[in-house]
C-alpha cells in the first residue's frame, strides 16, 4: 500500500486539529486544546488504489517551529490553514509558504500544497474569499474554504492534496524513466 505524508501547518487556533479529526474520525471537538504534534493514519481508496495517509498535525506555537522543520523536509504534501475569522492568521501564510519552499528546496507550484481558509461557518469574517483565492493564485496552489464543524469541503481539500501528491509521483516516475546515463 502506498504511504503519503501530509503535513498540516498554520497558526494556533485556526482549526488544524479539527480539520484533521473531521477527516480521520468524522468528529468535531468544540474546545481548543493546543497541539504540540500528533500523527494520524487513515486509509483511503482513490482511483481504485488504496493509500495510507499519514497526517502530521503540527503545533501553531512559535516555540515548536523546529519540530515542524523535519516534517517540512519530508512531507509529500501540505495543508496551510488560516482562520477566516482571524486576519493575523492569514498574514502568516506567506512565511509558511517560504519555509516549505526552503525545506523542500523547490518552488511552491512544484509542491502539493492546499491553502485552506477554515471556520466558514462562523460570522464576523475577517478574511474575504477573494483574499484567499488571490493568495492561492499568487503561490499557484489549490484553495478551499472549509468548516471543520460542519465538515464542509474538508474531505475535498484533503483529497485535492492527495491527488496532487499522486500526480507529482507519476510525473517524477516518468522523468526518472527518461533519465539516461551515457
Output the CA torsion 28→10→100→172 (10° steps).
20
CATH of domain 2-178: 3.40.50.300
| Bigger pLDDT: 176 vs 135 | 135
**Beta strands 49-58 and 37-46: pairing type?**
antiparallel
Q: Would you say the C-alpha torsion 156, 54, 22, 8 has a positive or negative sign?
A: negative
Question: By the 8 A CB rule, do 65 and 33 touch?
Answer: no
Beta bridge partners of 154: none
- Given a cut of 60, whether residue 181 has pLDDT beyond it is no
Q: Give the number of other Cβ atoms within 10 Å of residue 65's Cβ.
A: 13
- pLDDT of 97: 95
Between vectors from CA 134 to CA 131 and to CA 140, what angle results, nearest 5°? Answer: 140
- pLDDT of 63: 46
Angle between helices 93-104 and 129-139 (to 10 degrees): 20
148-174 per-position pLDDT tens digit = 999 999 999 999 999 999 998 876 656
Give the list of residues 6+ apart from residue 60 with CB closer than 8 angstroms, or none: 10, 11, 12, 13, 14, 16, 34, 35
Q: What is the pTM of this model?
A: 0.89
Residue tagged 498554520 (cell numbers) = 10
Q: What is the mean pLDDT of residues 121-136?
A: 98
CA dist., res. 124 & res. 40, Å (int): 31
Q: Where are the domains of the chain?
A: 2-178
Q: What is the mean pLDDT of the chain?
A: 88
Q: Rounded to the nearest 5°, which phi and psi values hold at 112? A: -65, 105
Amino acid at each position: 500500500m502506498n504511504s503519503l505524508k501530509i503535513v498540516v501547518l498554520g497558526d494556533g487556533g485556526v482549526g488544524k486539529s479539527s480539520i484533521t479529526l473531521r477527516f480521520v474520525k468524522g468528529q468535531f471537538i468544540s474546545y481548543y486544546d493546543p497541539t504540540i504534534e500528533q500523527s494520524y493514519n487513515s486509509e483511503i481508496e482513490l482511483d481504485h488504489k488504496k493509500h495510507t495517509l499519514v497526517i502530521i498535525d503540527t503545533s501553531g506555537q512559535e516555540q515548536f517551529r523546529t519540530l515542524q522543520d523535519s516534517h517540512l523536509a519530508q512531507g509529500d504534501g501540505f495543508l496551510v490553514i488560516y482562520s477566516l475569522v482571524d486576519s493575523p492568521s492569514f498574514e502568516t501564510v506567506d512565511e509558511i509558504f517560504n519555509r516549505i519552499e526552503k525545506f523542500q528546496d523547490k518552488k511552491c507550484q512544484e509542491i502539493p500544497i492546499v491553502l485552506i481558509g477554515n471556520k466558514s461557518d462562523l460570522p464576523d469574517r475577517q478574511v474575504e474569499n477573494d483574499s484567499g483565492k488571490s493568495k492561492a493564485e499568487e503561490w499557484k496552489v489549490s484553495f478551499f474554504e472549509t468548516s471543520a464543524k460542519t465538515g464542509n469541503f474538508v474531505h475535498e481539500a484533503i483529497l485535492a492534496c492527495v491527488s496532487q501528491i499522486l500526480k507529482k509521483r507519476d510525473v517524477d516516475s516518468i522523468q526518472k524513466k527518461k533519465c539516461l546515463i551515457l
